[in-house]
Structure 1
Amino acid sequence: MTVQTVGVIGAGQMGNGIAHVFAAAGYDVVLNDISAEALAAAMAKIETNTARQVSKGQLDAEARDAALARIRTTTDLGELGGGDLIIEAATEREEVKHRIFAALQPSLGPRTILTSNTSSISITRLAARTDRPDRFMGFHFMNPVPLMKLVELIRGIATSEETYRELKTIVGRLGKTAASAEDYPAFIVNRVLIPMINEAVYVLYEGVGSVASIDASMKLGANHPMGPLELGDFIGLDTCLSIMNVLRDGLADTKYRPCPLLVKYVEAGWLGRKSGRGFYDYRSGNPEPTR
């Protein structure tokens, strides 16, 4: 099977980035969200990001116009069902993902491949609730999608070799690198990364260091491009907490206990950059540590 039409569910920071890279690679994209305002914001973001690529010589103006013309938006989930490949990039909550795949079911073509951009949830469990577990995979892009080169490919227990090979070929066509991961909680990247961020929050919680000193220590002492608390804000603290809960529940190990301070920030609605405040306050335009 050759994939040409791609449906992307969710127009947030991951969904608009996924739509961007697929359209730039020559795929026809249908971007879906329940909110028309979110779709408009996503298209504005894609237009801004592709314009930046043109200004940097990474994309010529004609290719940019062609890519934008390949993206269509809709609030009707059923319009995606006839596509060759569907990528679910909704919020990191399992019950939401199950509802989306169930709603898609009546409109799906017999050969449509279903995938989830989940960063931590069991692919086997998501696939088992669909009519095509053999044509279901984890397709985990990194944020920001246009810049990050890695895509994790996660096979559920029933995923066919044909489906895996098709998605691996697509990753190459996107100009990215595939990393194959087994279907265990949080896969590879977030199994390593999110507990590190959680531990940095513990270091803050216990008073070992301030926000600024923790981030400076990891940037200058471990050569990380971004400090762990700054990175948590960038990812979204609610997403970090969701992944820690998946790790704790899935692996039953106390080392994955979310830090109480992380829980408190999420309960307060201090989710990071997207809410204007997390471990840094972004509302003035000049990020300031909140502790």
Structure 2
Amino acid sequence: MTSPVPGAAALAAVKSAARQAQGLTHQSGVDESTDASRQYVLTLSCPDRPGIVATVTRMLFEGGANIEESQQFDDRLTDHFFMRIHFSDTGEGSVEAWRERVTPIAQEFGMTWELWRATNPYRTLIMVSKAGHCLNDLLFRWYSGGLNIVIPAIVSNHTDLEPLARSYGLPFHHIPITADTKPEAEAALMQLVRDNDIDLVVLARYMQVLSDELCREMSGRIINIHHSFLPSFKGGRPYHQAFERGVKLVGATAHYVTADLDEGPIIEQDVTRVDHRMGPSDLVRAGQDVEADVLSRAVKWHCESRVILNTDRTVVFD
């Protein structure tokens, strides 16, 4: 899905909303008195053993919670258990109080876990180079309320898409990068991440390879869109690689970024059909809508706490 920049009549409202959004964080900034503030999501994973579900649900019941949605998965190959629970607090609870209740259970079962307010937006930094279709799609979905995010900053190694960012009232940061300046460029990027309390970085066709150090520091917090159905056609110019192989499907893959290029845990994929009449440029155009859709779904699911890492793979709850 791609959409035009909002017209002049809507621009003032967009800029106002963007300015207000800068004050929100994923951890705070929600009115404690509203019904929305009493909605929470708990995600967890741990070695499988009897009693996990009973213990967690009993804790929620005793704390005055009402379970709105619960999903679980037992990976028999790794003997690991995964769970996502969306619940509402019928009393006067808080994030801190619920985390205190979860902590002893997590220690008992050896859990990796997170608990957030369900409606708190993820503070999301978007990185892009010259191709604007994924950025345009994310901005429109954010603007129309389709993504649970706020966007404190857009970063690019080029200036081509600055007008698009500015039209939505969003700060645009030009951080040029060369082989010689890469350490300084990444230091500037990480300063933006820290200054803006960033929860998630989205590479919306950012055509630079991040350093191993940055990938480790931001592990599980960077989502990339690769314009190929991985593991096929890794690296650069995947549509041209696909054309040379005469494929009948081209696709896109959203995945978490790791130090291994295009090897990170996959969140979402999709394809579109192509045929013998299409050249490399036709494949590029055919794949752009798929890229935008796949990336937006991955961002949406991540920011609804529906994605849990499972070693080199992911568990994605619908």
TM-score, normalising length from structure 1? 0.33
Larger Rg computed on CA atoms: 2
The TM-score, its normalising length taken from structure 2, stands at 0.31
Structure with more relative contact order (C-alpha pairs < 8 Å, separation 6 or more): 2
Between Structure 1 and Structure 2, the one with more helix by share is 1
